[in-house]
Amino acid sequence: MTRSSTDPLYTFDPKIEKTLQPGQMENNDITLKELATRDVSAQTYELKSGLIHLLPKFHGLAGEDPHKHLKEFHVVCSTMRPQGIPEDYIKMKVLPFSLDGATKNWLYLQPALFNTWGDMKRTFLEKFFLPSRTATIRKEICGIRQHQGETLHEYWERFNKLYATCPHH
């Protein structure tokens, strides 16, 4: 299909072009990431030390549940969010305060900076919720049976508790 009219879609106005050109030149070096995200660092905000002390601590021990830690972490972060600051930005800045010992060292030794909270969370779970643990829990879920004398309600609650320990099942 061809266009029947040969008229330009808009008329060229050198005065408008001259006015717009300096603004266009300034924006040429802005990355897509910078265009998509607000400049949070330019905004001033204060994280209350009392709320930082409420953060759950994660040590990376074998019995600790990283999913549970992130759920509790989310609850505290959602209460400390200053107006106009994205919650994910707060989570990225506050996570180091919730880690202790080897887990904090692990975070600081990461070769690349995290661009998003999703990246940071995924990397954290990949490190501290190993595939072998997932396989073990899945095996337990598949093999769970109602105990003698256990009510259906008790069994159902025990099943749901086990199921919750493996959120990506």
Q: Is the pLDDT higher at 54 or at 14?
A: 54
24-38 per-position pLDDT tens digit? 545 445 454 444 445
Structural domain including 113 reads 49-129
80-113 per-position pLDDT tens digit? 767 778 888 888 888 999 999 889 988 888 877 7
For residues 139 and 152, membership in a common domain is answered with yes
Which residue stretches of the chain are H helix?
14-26, 32-36, 49-52, 66-79, 87-98, 102-108, 117-128, 131-143, 152-164
Which pTM value belongs to this model?
0.59
For residues 62 and 123, membership in a common domain is answered with yes
Q: SS3 for 99? A: strand
111-155 per-position pLDDT tens digit? 777 788 888 888 888 888 877 777 787 888 888 899 999 999 999
The total of structural domains in the chain comes to: 2
